[in-house]
Structure 1
């Protein structure tokens, strides 16, 4: 996204803030005075509405006890399905294809257990070498439980430059031995968006099912999972969707797979009309609800009710446009102020290939992140050399982005980072 008449001064940042159609949503969030939060791609901030819906669910528990399952402001028994109505437009599915449940890795285990059906030559799972480690651990585990050697049966497509993936390389790896493909929508380090539709089309041409980890895209950009004919997807709701630390995750299952018995069945896999029949034969829901396993984590789900209200009002297309613009502004400032200080932007420049954060590379990244925190900036570090900065459309201002770059420049010029060790903290 080109910025008209870009200027590197503060007045230009203030002018962009005046024209920002989403600026009113900033008041919805708890912003710590004296701090600029740039880590919303790891954990989104608490909104006042998320706090309100959590407290209301506690009130329902206090008032109704066990009757809170069917009474109160947000009855617990139907909470996941009700939330699907608000979440579905963000991922481009129908409410029946979406469910709020589990966690990212639990949902991945569920989906692989359901859709990975090795047969004949088709026994391998295709992933990539840049994906988040938890996905790899889960896929290796799934292969081992089927009696396969995960070293030989998990294909990890290599990156040509350790930053990005080339879709041609992924497609070339879709051979007759591949049974299932699991890829990220957005790479968690570089922020690259994969061509989801193209990869899905190519997988299906070869008779291969394909699913996506959407943790780093849901809430920052639109999706069209149904239209793209994606078989399944899964994600967390605590990053761009601001659902709270450890909040309940979500998954999408294409309606063409409805009626398929879940690989990991549980009580909440049931059709809700039959669930309390207490039969020992599962009657699964004819929707994504069938891929639930256990009882919903009500108090971890409740904040998402309020958070999704904000997304419905703001509109995901508007959020994406602001995200692209403010991240482009950040990159322009980096080009103008920081490139001569040893920094490199390791994120795609093209809008269509860039997610909701900027990866700034520097050999002293760990020390620089510590210095940023000392200066009131909350960044994100990824070993060995990445500072992830995420201006979030709903609560980050252009003036804050300008301030972040000025502080980064000051840290480098004054060598403030040299007082710290160049190693990550226990939680990076």
Structure 2
């Protein structure tokens, strides 16, 4: 696609955008009476305008029905999660019975590793990407120690080659093959939080299974961002937070996926709780845990109604958008345009002041574009904020800019480039 670096062209793209009205579904933070250009949806998505309505509905049920709200009202709390399951499944390419909203991300990662990290004999190792988000690193370290292994021996990290910022799929597959029958689990992120690289999940899954390992993914930066087909890709399990690209609010509820091929496996261990017990018999309060069918059987504690109501508000907007495919088409264009305007800034400055470390190929990235600022990185980030452009800072010199297709537009991207040019010429 041939782009132009001017406001009229950006506005023309916005007029042609069939999803442009979705922007009006969200509330934007403001500074000095003006809304931010919000490019931080990879950390916390914007608040849907309907969020308050959905919370108020549940507060009204609490007020008017009290404990009977579990079984009475338009959406009884006992079954509220089922309405979310129907909307979550299309976003991750799953059957509704394979997904469940519950807990928070790292709690779910631990619960799923209880079931799917089962070291035995010489098969005890975990393969993961180097530089994964700290929560994943800590979870795996503690799980390995819990089983009596040394993380230095049990955790194999695949790192980018010297001088590179992203992983080559061939290197991941080679690492899996080299470890062979010593691998118990392959556990990767779907999209890397730092670079925005979208890993080849089907290839990783196929290689992991060929080695005899279980394969899981942390989809914190992938769910609601890129098109996923967890069921068809034969992934064993996954989990994600919903407060980034899925706009469920700070600390919002997490989601899990368990492939249906595992539902009848009675050898799988799990940390059980009352809410994971079979639904029709739950209130008999019987001894001996019998799991509910599907991913619901991994629930531990009861439905978190208020966080679920926020998630529901956002999922309804995804439904209005046609779920992920139309959004992905727009997302690829937004990030490509951001690549273009950053290149225009570098050309004007006569040097590569801003090095993009996100993959240039659209199929290898999500909505995020990460740039290394060569000179005065923190000053430039602060100046962007002062000019109502809110991205994300990562030490020591990386600025992450994330045009989210639900609420960002091409004018946002053009103005970001324009301000980056202005700030650079003032500071450098």
Instruction: Confirm or deny that 1:338 pairs with 2:346.
Output: yes
Shift of 1:262: 4.6
Compute the TM-score of the two structures, normalised by the length of structure 1: 0.94
- Kept after mapping to 1: 8 A contact 2:187/2:216: yes
Query: Which position in structure 2 is the counterpart of 1:329?
Result: 337
- Kept after mapping to 1: 8 A contact 2:114/2:271: yes
Match of 1:258 among 258, 263, 266: 263
Q: Deviations over 1:126-145 (max 9, x none)?
A: 11112111001001000111
Instruction: Confirm or deny that 1:189 pairs with 2:181.
Output: no
Shift of 1:278: 0.8
Query: Which position in structure 2 is the counterpart of 1:424?
Result: none
- Kept after mapping to 2: 8 A contact 1:211/1:231: yes
- Kept after mapping to 2: 8 A contact 1:235/1:251: yes
- Helix, strand or coil at the partner of 1:274: helix
Query: Which position in structure 2 is the counterpart of 1:148?
Result: 149
- Kept after mapping to 1: 8 A contact 2:183/2:213: yes
Structure 1 residues without counterparts, runs of 5 or longer: 417-428
- Kept after mapping to 2: 8 A contact 1:130/1:159: no
Instruction: Confirm or deny that 1:217 pairs with 2:219.
Output: no
The separation in 2 between residues aligned to 1:165 and 1:115, in whole angstroms, is 25
Structure 2 residues without counterparts, runs of 5 or longer: none
- Kept after mapping to 1: 8 A contact 2:183/2:212: no
Instruction: Confirm or deny that 1:354 pairs with 2:365.
Output: yes
Q: Deviations over 1:239-258 (max 9, x none)?
A: 11111110000010000011
Match of 1:284 among 291, 294, 306: 291
- Helix, strand or coil at the partner of 1:360: strand
- Kept after mapping to 2: 8 A contact 1:242/1:307: yes
Query: Which position in structure 2 is the counterpart of 1:164?
Result: 166
Match of 1:18 among 15, 18, 22: 15
Query: Which position in structure 2 is the counterpart of 1:30?
Result: 27
Query: Which position in structure 2 is the counterpart of 1:402?
Result: 414
- Kept after mapping to 2: 8 A contact 1:179/1:208: yes
Match of 1:7 among 4, 8, 21: 4
Match of 1:249 among 251, 254, 258: 254
Shift of 1:73: 3.2
- Kept after mapping to 2: 8 A contact 1:259/1:284: no
- Kept after mapping to 2: 8 A contact 1:123/1:179: yes
The separation in 2 between residues aligned to 1:296 and 1:141, in whole angstroms, is 27
Instruction: Confirm or deny that 1:319 pairs with 2:327.
Output: yes
- Helix, strand or coil at the partner of 1:414: helix
The separation in 1 between residues aligned to 2:310 and 2:73, in whole angstroms, is 16
- Kept after mapping to 1: 8 A contact 2:345/2:420: no
Shift of 1:356: 1.1
The separation in 1 between residues aligned to 2:88 and 2:397, in whole angstroms, is 34
Within 5 Å, give how 1:26-425 maps onto structure 2.
26-32=23-29, 33-160=34-161, 161=163, 163-174=165-176, 175-260=180-265, 261-315=268-322, 316-338=324-346, 340=351, 342-363=353-374, 364-415=376-427
- Kept after mapping to 1: 8 A contact 2:186/2:216: yes
Shift of 1:48: 1.3
Q: In the superposition, relative to structure 1, how do residues 149 and 64 fare at CA in structure 2: closer, same or farther (>3 Å)?
A: same
- Helix, strand or coil at the partner of 2:279: coil
- Kept after mapping to 2: 8 A contact 1:57/1:73: no
- Helix, strand or coil at the partner of 1:228: coil
Shift of 1:367: 2.6
Shift of 1:290: 1.0
Aligned residue pairs, count: 413
Shift of 1:213: 0.9
- Helix, strand or coil at the partner of 2:393: strand
| Larger displacement relative to structure 2 (88-97 or 261-270) | 261-270
Shift of 1:395: 0.8
The separation in 2 between residues aligned to 1:356 and 1:312, in whole angstroms, is 19
The separation in 2 between residues aligned to 1:239 and 1:18, in whole angstroms, is 26
Q: In the superposition, relative to structure 1, how do residues 415 and 341 fare at CA in structure 2: closer, same or farther (>3 Å)?
A: farther
Aligned structure 1 segments of 4 or more residues deviating by more than 6 angstroms: none
CA RMSD after TM alignment: 1.4
Q: Deviations over 1:69-92 (max 9, x none)?
A: 122233211122221110001100
- Helix, strand or coil at the partner of 1:159: coil
Q: Deviations over 1:202-246 (max 9, x none)?
A: 111121110011111111221111000000111000111111110
The separation in 2 between residues aligned to 1:319 and 1:10, in whole angstroms, is 22
The separation in 2 between residues aligned to 1:42 and 1:348, in whole angstroms, is 19
Shift of 1:406: 1.1
